[in-house]
Amino acid sequence: MAVTLQLVNYVKVTGNYCYRRALHQNVARFHSSRRNLVAQIIDGRAIAQTIKDEVKAQVEKIVSSAGRRPHLCVILVGDDPASAVYVKNKIESANYTGISSDNIKLPNNSTQKEVVDIIKALNTNADVDGILVQLPIAGHMDERTICNTVVPHKDVDGFHVLNAGRFMVDQKAFMPATPAGVMEIIRRVGIKTRGQNAVVCGRSKNVGLPIAMLLHADGNHDSNAGGDATTTICHRNTPHDQLRRLTETADLIVSATGVRNLITGDMVKEGVAVIDVGITRIVDPKSGKARLVGDVDFESVAEKASFITPVPGGVGPVTVAMLLQNTLKAYKREIDFYV
Ligand SMILES: Nc1nc(=O)c2c([nH]1)NC[C@@H]1CN(c3ccc(C(=O)N[C@@H](CCC(=O)O)C(=O)O)cc3)C=[N+]21
């Protein structure tokens, strides 16, 4: 019995593997110690590098034909250490692609009016293509007001209500960088979505919700490239046994909750593709050093998955690359907001 089971697994997963191997290179292989299964570990850094090189080539073309260099402004309020790391990554990556940038740092006690006035000045500054206000923003400010102050055609985060609304009705829009990154990974690696069961964990307005919208949407519609999956959204009020029932039949799981070890190997079926968007900072009990973990128990899930993204080195770097792609789109005024 055990032998038969193993053989079935081997044939099934090896078959998938051969088919997929031709499609992509940005993966490593995770060899199960217990079974003949091979999970492909998606290399987000390599995918991000490819995207950044594509952006860089386009920027070089613009500059060599005497064009103005695309310019990104990042506004950072306060001194949250995680935000400082993300902003540093964004600025460094922008530099790499040839996109020039400003990092506007404001003290934590800045007023909402001060931030709004800075955004308004950037909105009308013809030398600025993209504007981004790093979130979370200090508690005494209204995040919606701040996001809606950025003029839609410079809103490279896709957080303005016009971009969010246009996207929901299949009009061209700036897509938020993390959801765009998740879809880009799925496309570049060749993970099937059409007709598949997709489970999204997390319903945040900037990450979980737009990911679910993209996964379920009509992929034949040309605007924002949906995934045609049957998509279920789980969130903090989904009982864990119900979550398990859904993940057990999922072909694709995208988790974006910040709950460590939410998804474990016993909850998933063999051959599942898993995209881990969670970020939790922990102190490693062995080394005593701080490190990042995702929502997914990597070791146990990789035993069964066909594809899996690691944390760090998965979705995070691709998010940064998508922001730069959006900045280039803003520069080219690719999105017409008057239709
Ligand atoms: N207005 C706004 N736009 C955002 O796009 C935005 C934001 N606010 N607030 C926070 C989230 C989070 N986010 C990440 C960016 C890079 C990594 C990243 O580079 N991660 C690396 C590790 C970084 C580290 O060492 O901490 C990795 O996963 O390998 C992760 C997460 C953008 N966000």
What are 74's strand-pairing partners? 103, 132
CB atoms within 10 A of CB 280: 15
Mean pLDDT of 171-193: 96
The share of the chain scoring above pLDDT 90, in percent, equals: 82
Q: What average pLDDT does range 163-189 have in this prediction?
A: 96
Measured in Å, residue 178 CA sits from the centre of ligand 1 at 8
Confidence of residue 247 (pLDDT cuts 50, 70, 90): very high
Q: What is the mean pLDDT of the chain?
A: 90
From the CB of 150, is ligand 1 less than 6 Å away? Answer: no
What distances in angstroms separate CA 202 from CA 90, 101, 211, 250, 265, one per listed residue? 24, 32, 9, 15, 19
Pick the catalytic residue: 129, 155, 157, 295?
A: 157
Q: How far is the CA of 88 from the centre of ligand 1 (A)?
A: 10
Where do the structural domains in the chain lie, given as residue ranges? 2-43+175-313, 66-171+320-331
pLDDT category at 177 given cuts 50, 70, 90 is very high
Per-residue confidence at 53, pLDDT binned at 50, 70, 90? very high
Would you state the pLDDT for residue 225?
78
pLDDT at 14 over 50: no
Determine the pLDDT at residue 31: 65
For a mutational test of ligand 1's pocket, the pick from 182, 284, 319, 326, i.e. the residue with the most ligand atoms closer than 8 A to its C-beta, is 319
What's the mean pLDDT in 306-330?
A: 98
Active-site residue flag, 155: no
The region of weakest confidence among 37-46, 149-158, 312-321 is 37-46
What average pLDDT does the segment 88-113 reach?
97
pLDDT at 310 over 90: yes
May I ask the CATH architecture of the domain 66-171+320-331? 3-Layer(aba) Sandwich (3.40)
**Lowest-confidence pick of 30-39, 53-62, 211-220, 274-283:** 30-39
What pLDDT is stored for residue 102 in this prediction?
Answer: 96
* 2-43+175-313 and 66-171+320-331 in the same fold: yes
What's the pLDDT at 111? 96
For residue 166, the model assigns a pLDDT of: 95
Fold of 2-43+175-313: Rossmann fold (3.40.50)
